[in-house]
Amino acid sequence: MEEHKSTQQPRPKDNFTAWEAPLYNDLRKLFSRSQLREVLTHSSFYEKEGKGNSRYIFVGMFVFKGMVAEVLYRYFTGEGTRLQHVLGNLFRNERLERLFDGWKLRQFVRAGEKFDIAAHKHIFVYAIFGYVTTLDENTRNWFISKYILNDESNHLFLHRKRNANLLAQADAMVRQADGRRLTLEMEVTDEGKHRAKAVLSDGSVLCEAESKSWRYARTKATKMALNILATPFRKELLSNPDYQARVLAREEERVSKRRAEVEARDAQREAIRAEKEAKRKEIARARDAKRRKSQAAAKLRKAENARRAAAKAAKEARPMSANKRRYLEDKKK
């Protein structure tokens, strides 16, 4: 057999100094250096068959995707067809390529010289997914919540069926987690507002919301409870008051941020409306001034015409002189 030629892609440095910030902070704790080489080495890098990351790719494409599908089945509402579409969007190639670039994996990938890495970024991301399936459950849940079911994919879960019972969904999530029940309690504050509290069966308050409207306070508290419970770590959340307080604080921060965005947008719209109103009033004032000027000119013309008509009538009313009478008589002859 011929001696192995160095036609492959260059090997990454055998230390962590080359790891860039995004990869260093998130993925270094998942991989040792040898594991990273194993997961990101394509079979084309070796002349001998049977080596490479193909098994990790297979596990990532099917087992890891199945784990995400199980999370969707357990924690998200919707028909099976809709969940299937959501799963497909979560693992579309465009998104996987963004993960490849965001994790800076190109500097660590090893492949044969003729292998087009740029066209196959997604398979190396699937290899990462495949390795994640070998880790413990908490780490897998952390990875799924951070990189798959994150803020980027929130828009996929905004759909709600008409007349859906949100409180029943939140109650079902709590019962599945630890057997407790979730109910809403209403009260009126000193300011006259309605306060809705999402209360667990042991008396602990999950979250609360206030509004002038009784109905909106209930809806707001229920949706806040759903957002808090819609996480793979909800068992830990419900059993740990400190963690629950942090999650609630993050949720309140998100709501406050959204409220600030809405207020800023409304303020911008109000400024545009005020500017348009000022322009409209300015145009109206100019139009009124022009109309008053035209009316004043018409009034002057009318007065001048009346004066001329009066002068002519006065002239015609004066008695005729003797000389003029004789002149007219002579002219008739």
Question: Is there a domain that residue 235 lies in?
Answer: yes
Q: CA-CA distance, 268 to 261, in Å (whole number)?
A: 10
User: Do 107 and 231 share a domain, yes or no?
Assistant: no
User: What is the pLDDT at residue 120?
Assistant: 92
For residue 80, give the CATH number of its domain. 1.10.1520.10
User: Do 46 and 139 share a domain, yes or no?
Assistant: yes
pTM across the whole model = 0.45
Q: CA-CA distance, 237 to 229, in Å (whole number)?
A: 8
Question: Is there a domain that residue 172 lies in?
Answer: yes
Beta carbons of 49 and 66 less than 8 angstroms apart:
no
1, amino acid identity: M
For residue 222, give the CATH number of its domain. 3.30.160.20
Question: Is there a domain that residue 275 lies in?
Answer: no
User: Do 108 and 58 share a domain, yes or no?
Assistant: yes
Q: Which of 220, 239, 258 is the last residue of a domain?
A: 239
Cβ within 8 Å of residue 15, ≥6 positions away: 33
User: Do 179 and 196 share a domain, yes or no?
Assistant: yes
Cβ within 8 Å of residue 121, ≥6 positions away: 96, 97, 100, 101, 105
Q: Is 30 exposed, middle or buried (0-12, 13-18, 19+ CB in 10 A)?
A: middle
CA-nearest of 160, 248, 222 to 240 is: 248
Q: CA-CA distance, 141 to 231, in Å (whole number)?
A: 9
Q: Radius of gyration (Cα) for the chain, nearest Å?
A: 40
Beta carbons of 121 and 100 less than 8 angstroms apart:
yes
Q: Strand (E) positions, the chain?
A: 182-188, 194-200, 205-211
User: Do 146 and 171 share a domain, yes or no?
Assistant: no
Question: Is there a domain that residue 324 lies in?
Answer: no
Q: What is the pLDDT along the chain (333 residues), one digit of tens a residue?
A: 344 444 444 444 433 344 444 444 567 777 777 787 889 998 888 877 667 889 999 999 999 999 999 998 888 877 888 889 889 999 999 999 999 988 888 888 888 888 899 999 999 999 999 999 999 888 898 899 888 988 777 767 765 555 467 888 888 888 877 788 889 999 998 888 999 999 988 888 888 888 899 999 999 889 888 877 877 667 777 777 777 777 778 778 887 898 899 999 999 999 999 999 999 999 999 999 999 999 999 999 999 999 999 988 888 888 878 888 888 888 887
User: What is the pLDDT at residue 320?
Assistant: 77
User: Do 231 and 146 share a domain, yes or no?
Assistant: no
| DSSP code for 113 | T
CA-nearest of 90, 227, 76, 85 to 153 is: 90
Question: Is there a domain that residue 290 lies in?
Answer: no
User: Do 96 and 198 share a domain, yes or no?
Assistant: no
Contacts made by residues 298-305, CB under 8 angstroms, sequence distance 24+: none
User: Do 26 and 153 share a domain, yes or no?
Assistant: yes
Q: Return the residue matching tokens 């990454």.
A: 12
User: Do 44 and 97 share a domain, yes or no?
Assistant: yes
Please state the φ and ψ torsions of residue 140, each to the nearest 5 degrees: -60, -45
Q: Which of 198, 224, 239 is the last residue of a domain?
A: 239
Helix (H, G, I), strand (E, B) or coil at 111: coil
| DSSP code for 5 | P
Cβ within 8 Å of residue 208, ≥6 positions away: 195, 196, 197, 198, 221
CA distances in angstroms from 250 to 33, 143, 217, 309, listed in the order given: 35, 19, 19, 87
Question: Is there a domain that residue 26 lies in?
Answer: yes
Please state the φ and ψ torsions of residue 185, each to the nearest 5 degrees: -120, 135
Q: Is 238 exposed, middle or buried (0-12, 13-18, 19+ CB in 10 A)?
A: buried
User: Do 190 and 80 share a domain, yes or no?
Assistant: no
- Residue ranges of alpha helices (H) inside 191-240 are 214-229, 234-239
Structural domains of the chain, count: 2
Question: Is there a domain that residue 233 lies in?
Answer: yes
User: Do 85 and 121 share a domain, yes or no?
Assistant: yes
Question: Is there a domain that residue 128 lies in?
Answer: yes
User: Do 53 and 147 share a domain, yes or no?
Assistant: yes
By residue range, what is the domain housing residue 55?
A: 21-157
